[in-house]
Amino acid sequence: MQASQAQRIKDAEQAFDRRRRTFGLIVGPLAALAVMLTPIDGLTLEAHKLLAIMTLVALWWITEPVPIPVTSLLGPTLTVMTGAVPVSGAFASFANSMIFLFMGGFILAKAMMMHGLDKRFAYWLLSRKWVGSNPRRIFLAIGLATALCSGWVSNTATAAMMFPICLGLLNSIKEMMAANGREINLSEYKYATGLMLMTAYSASIGGVLTPIGTPPNLIMLGFLDSMENIHVSFFEWMIWGSIAMVCYFAIAYVVLSKLFPADVEKIDGAEEFIRARVAELGDWTRAQKNTMAAFVTAVVLWIIPGFLNIFLGETSPVMKMYETLFPEAIAALVGAMMLFLLPVNFAKREFTITWKEASAGIEWGTLILFGGGLAMGGMMYKTGLSLWIGDLIVDEIGGSATQFFLVGIFSVLALLLSELTSHTAATNMIGPLAITIAVSANLSPVPVSVGIALSASLGFMLPVSTPPNAIVYASGYVPITKMIATGVYIDFIGIACVTIPLAVWLVTMIVS
């Protein structure tokens, strides 16, 4: 019965997907043409052309008639073909240092996954004495391990890694119940649903911890840097990200543990299962030690500026020299390049990672989407289009354009768009607009930028919202109605209780 229901839901999703793509394929170019043919006062010809192209790009990012990275290349290409922007200006953002920060992070993450460092950390946390065989503590430990890994490794890879661990623990519960004369169906077992959702949600929540944890973080930092020359360091983001991650995680844990409680006090066999997995990992290999050295080097280089700022001050010559020599992108590349230099077997010229392995770990589509988003945002700024849109909206909303209002509106918008389309594309669409509106209203663009980045990670309602949701939904243990109902709670509690107060705190900090 449940299998047929799941199939019907899957068929409905596929049918909706086809209609959405067909709609975008036809309506996108027509809407762009309509914008181009409509006289608009106050816009230069270049800005008018860019507005038409942005209309097409935004609609295609949402409806995906072609892959999102292709649309990201299409935007800058059309701006050159229509004479809106010269080729050097259209594609300059694809060399933005933030892209290389992401690239270095991808290579480090690939090495960590390839050599099992992420799995070693997860099993280490699950094997702690305080976890034991208590189902509530296992629930908490699974979430913590997933969230902390996801701060450095992609949420998809983290969810995929934790998924079989959860299945093993659930099978232990099933075997324990059977031994006690009680047969259970895991697809209808509340704790199984909760554990799967905790894995998916924690994978997304952990992404807010660091700038490289999820693309929206780095995209908004890139927009702040390129549009307003505001640089937010790795260390500064980690302070904000830590607060947001703890709050988001606490909300998810409380909601899920209340909705999907365990009906046993102890999971017999859980500790043995974890111990067996730890034993399988064996001793640390040379490749694992090399990867850890490279990762620690990058992290230390990322956080040193924070401590220099605390002890020496932002204007210190040492601080300025360090930022010149070791910006975040260089720190990431230093760590990544160490992987190609640290040998595993020098006699055979075997090193920690090969280029073939590293390149397979780089999400090239994400880098292209990131570059395309920065390019479109930068061109909106340079042609005056973003200023025109910002002034138009500020004039309409009048005196209500407060920090609280902007953060609230754009946080909810980022959340809703991220539920329906790629959170990276959603951030690219609304990021430049939000920053420009904040500046037009004489407000700091930092709070609304942070609000957008954090809210874009709250895609918890649908399997299509984010890959971790899709991974656990495929297990058959998570009915879509449960995911939607639970996701609504966490999404909007997260918006109301975390993002807006955080933004208000940021405003207070900036003003003071």
Grade residue 344 by pLDDT with cuts at 50, 70 and 90. Answer: very high
pLDDT of residue 45: 92
Quote the domain boundaries for residue 73: 1-85
CA-closest candidate to residue 362, choices 108, 91, 94: 108
Which of 33, 66, 85 is where one domain is finished? Answer: 85
52 part of a folded domain:
yes
The verdict on 289 and 354 lying in the same domain is yes
What pLDDT was estimated at residue 113? 86
Please report whether residue 249 resides in a domain: no
For residue 382, being part of any structural domain is answered with no
- How many domains does one find in the chain? 2
Token representation of residue 195: 């554990």
pLDDT at site 71: 92
Residue 309 included in any domain: yes
pLDDT value at position 501? 64
Same domain, 81 and 97: no
Selection from 246, 267, 265, 107 nearest residue 175 by Cα: 267
Residues 40-57: b if buried by 16+ CB within 10 A, e if exposed: eeebeebbbbbbbbbbbb
Cα-flanking dihedrals φ and ψ of residue 487, to 5°? -60, -40
Residue 400: per-residue pLDDT: 60
Question: What is the average pLDDT across 168-178?
Answer: 76
Mean pLDDT value across residues 412-427:
81
Count CB atoms within 10 A of the CB of residue 125: 17
Half-sphere exposure of 472 (CA within 13 A, CB side): 34
Q: In angstroms, rounded to a whole number, what is the distance separating the alpha carbons of residues 405 and 393?
A: 13
Residues 301 and 368 in one domain: yes
pLDDT over 70 (residue 468): yes
* pLDDT score of 170 more than 70: yes
Same domain, yes or no: 76 and 99? no
Same domain, 78 and 98: no
C-alpha 50/C-alpha 39 separation (Å) is 14
327 and 358 together in one domain: yes
Segment 254-270 mean pLDDT: 82
Q: Can you tell me the mean pLDDT for 316-330?
A: 89
Distances (CA, A) of 40 to 45, 47, 78, 310: 10, 10, 20, 50
pLDDT tops 80 at residue 197 = yes
Residues of the chain with pLDDT > 90: what percent?
A: 25
- Whether the per-residue pLDDT at 314 is higher than 80: the answer is no
Task: For residues 96 and 39, state if they share a domain.
Answer: no
Q: 80 and 60 in one domain?
A: yes
3-state secondary structure of 351: strand
Residue 369 has pLDDT above 80, yes or no: yes
Q: What pLDDT score was predicted for residue 296?
A: 93
- Asked, for residue 302, whether it belongs to a domain, the answer is yes
Same domain, residue pair 31 and 107: no
Show the CA angle centred on residue 158, arms to residues 154 and 163, nearest 5°.
150
| Tens digit of each residue's pLDDT (9 = 90 or more) over 202-240 | 999 998 998 888 888 988 998 898 888 888 888 888 888
- pLDDT tier for residue 345 given thresholds of 50, 70 and 90: very high
Per residue in 8-66, pLDDT (tens digit) is 666 766 787 789 899 999 999 999 999 999 998 888 999 999 999 999 998 998 888 99
Mean pLDDT of the chain: 85
* Res. 510: pLDDT tops 60: no
Domain boundary among 85, 101, 128: 85
Question: Per-residue pLDDT averaged across 446-469, rounded?
Answer: 84
Asked if the model's pLDDT at residue 2 lies above 60, the reply is no
Note whether residue 34 is domain-resident.
Answer: yes
Together in a domain, 106 and 35: no
User: Quick one: 1 and 37 in the same domain?
Assistant: yes
More confident residue, 101 or 341: 341
Predicted confidence band of residue 479 (pLDDT cuts 50, 70, 90): confident
For 106, the token pair is: 């991808």
The angle at the Cα of 369, spanning 364 to 370, to the nearest 5 degrees, equals 95
Let me know whether 61 and 108 are in one domain.
no
Residue 67: inside a domain = yes
- 440 inside domain: no
Q: 276-305, pLDDT tens digit by residue?
A: 888 888 899 999 999 999 999 999 999 888
User: What are the pLDDT digits (tens) for 490-504?
Assistant: 888 877 766 666 555
